[in-house]
């Protein structure tokens, strides 16, 4: 069985939500690169982000990947065209899949986008949604990432912070906004908490799941691709199928392999990866790309 080789790039650990979503849907060899020594990307210039991302792309291409997924909202928002120009394999970012799903399910043609300061400042989601006929209000939620990385996924403090952010967003959003787009790959871990806060009419779009859906569709036309899940969960609150988490075994699912590369602390990455993937990650390689 010849499985596709998929490279996944993020500035840190948030992209692991994209990796997890793909791993639950597609049998493949996965190569995850986290540029943990140089995060956050949000404080850096477009030129710097592009240079770092292209360097990571070249490293992953050296692993003979067939497809590159930019699982970083900042890099996608600021430098996707430059990355695509430099890459020698197809490149998928996380902005278009999320906005496409939002446009598909919104009945009132209005959405709220929550993201980091850098992603909001880029207006990548707002512009992409407007091109699809969706009015959008963008809300920066800078405390969510540290709260997630602290492990406070369902903590009262996190819920209080979320209520403050979302109350403000709803008050300023277009009338009858009925979609909440999670435009940061850390945020899917907060989806159950956010589901309790927003109205029942508000659909929650998870950009990690949306990106996995796009990758699945792309690969489903290839003879060697093994699709593990035909029924995708496109947004939070949809009816979920039963899924087996990433694990060892003998089924087609277990022909998958996962390799991890980081540019900073291996031990810290392992701790955080356990929270994001719901499984222990033992084999992580430190790499130094320089620059």
The string of pLDDT tens digits covering residues 181-230 is 999 999 999 999 999 999 999 999 999 999 999 999 999 876 456 777 65
54: domain CATH number is 3.40.50.1860
Please confirm, yes or no, whether 236 is among the known catalytic residues. no
Distance, C-alpha 235 to centroid of its chain:
13
The arithmetic mean of pLDDT across residues 47-53, rounded, is 95
Determine, yes or no, domain membership for 276: yes
Structural domain boundaries enclosing 100: 95-208
The DSSP-derived string for 152-178 is: -TT-HHHHHHHHHHHHHHHHHSPTT--
> Is 272 found in the same domain as 192?
no
pLDDT-derived band at 73, boundaries 50, 70, 90: very high
| Boundary residue ending a domain (179, 208, 237) | 208
* pLDDT score for 104: 96
> Is 241 found in the same domain as 104?
no
| Boundary residue ending a domain (178, 208, 238) | 208
pLDDT greater than 90 at residue 33? yes
Please confirm, yes or no, whether 184 is among the known catalytic residues. yes
> Is 82 found in the same domain as 174?
no
Q: Which of 55, 72, 141, 236 is catalytic?
A: 72
The DSSP-derived string for 113-143 is: EEE-HHHHHHTHHHHHHHHTT-EEEEEE-TT
> Is 279 found in the same domain as 226?
yes
Q: Which residue in 111, 105, 114, 115 sits closest to 136, CA to CA?
A: 111
Q: Strand 257-262 relative to strand 284-286: parallel, antiparallel, unpaired?
A: parallel
Looking at the chain, how many residues does it have?
A: 291
> Is 191 found in the same domain as 100?
yes
d(CA 128, CA 119): 12
> Is 277 found in the same domain as 235?
yes
Total tally of structural domains belonging to the chain: 2
CB atoms within 10 A of CB 85: 11
Determine, yes or no, domain membership for 19: yes
Q: Which of 55, 141, 184, 236 is catalytic?
A: 184
* pLDDT score for 249: 41
Determine, yes or no, domain membership for 35: yes
pLDDT digit string (tens) for 5-19? 999 999 999 999 999
> Is 76 found in the same domain as 219?
yes
Residues whose CB is less than 8 angstroms from the CB of residue 127 and which lie 6 or more positions away in sequence, other chains included: none
């Amino acid at each position: 069985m010849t499985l596709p080789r998929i490279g996944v790039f993020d500035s840190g650990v948030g992209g692991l939500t994209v990796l997890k979503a793909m791993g639950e849907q597609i049998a493949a060899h996965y190569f995850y690169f986290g540029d943990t020594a140089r995060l956050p990307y949000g404080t850096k210039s477009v030129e710097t982000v592009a240079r770092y991302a292209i360097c990571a792309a070249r490293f992953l291409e050296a692993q003979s990947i067939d497809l590159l997924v930019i699982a970083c909202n900042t890099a996608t928002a600021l430098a996707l065209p430059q990355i695509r120009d430099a890459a020698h394999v197809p490149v998928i970012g996380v902005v278009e899949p999320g906005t496409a799903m939002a446009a598909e399910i919104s009945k009132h043609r209005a959405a709220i986008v929550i993201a980091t300061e850098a992603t909001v400042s880029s207006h990548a989601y707002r512009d992409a949604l407007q091109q699809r006929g969706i009015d959008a209000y963008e809300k920066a939620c800078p405390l969510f990432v540290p709260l997630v990385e602290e492990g406070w996924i369902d903590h009262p403090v996190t819920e209080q912070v979320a209520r403050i952010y979302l109350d403000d967003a709803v008050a300023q959003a277009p009338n009858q906004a009925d979609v909440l787009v999670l435009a940061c790959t850390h945020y899917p871990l907060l989806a159950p908490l956010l589901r309790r806060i927003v109205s029942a009419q508000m659909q929650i779009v998870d950009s990690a799941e949306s990106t996995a859906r796009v990758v699945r569709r792309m690969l489903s036309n290839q003879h060697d691709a093994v699709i593990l899940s035909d029924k995708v969960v496109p947004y939070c609150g949809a009816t979920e199928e039963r899924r087996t988490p990433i694990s060892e075994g003998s089924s087609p699912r277990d022909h998958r392999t996962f390799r991890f590369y980081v540019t900073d602390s291996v031990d810290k990455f392992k701790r955080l990866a356990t929270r994001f993937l719901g499984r222990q990650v033992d084999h992580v390689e430190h790499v130094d790309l320089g620059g």
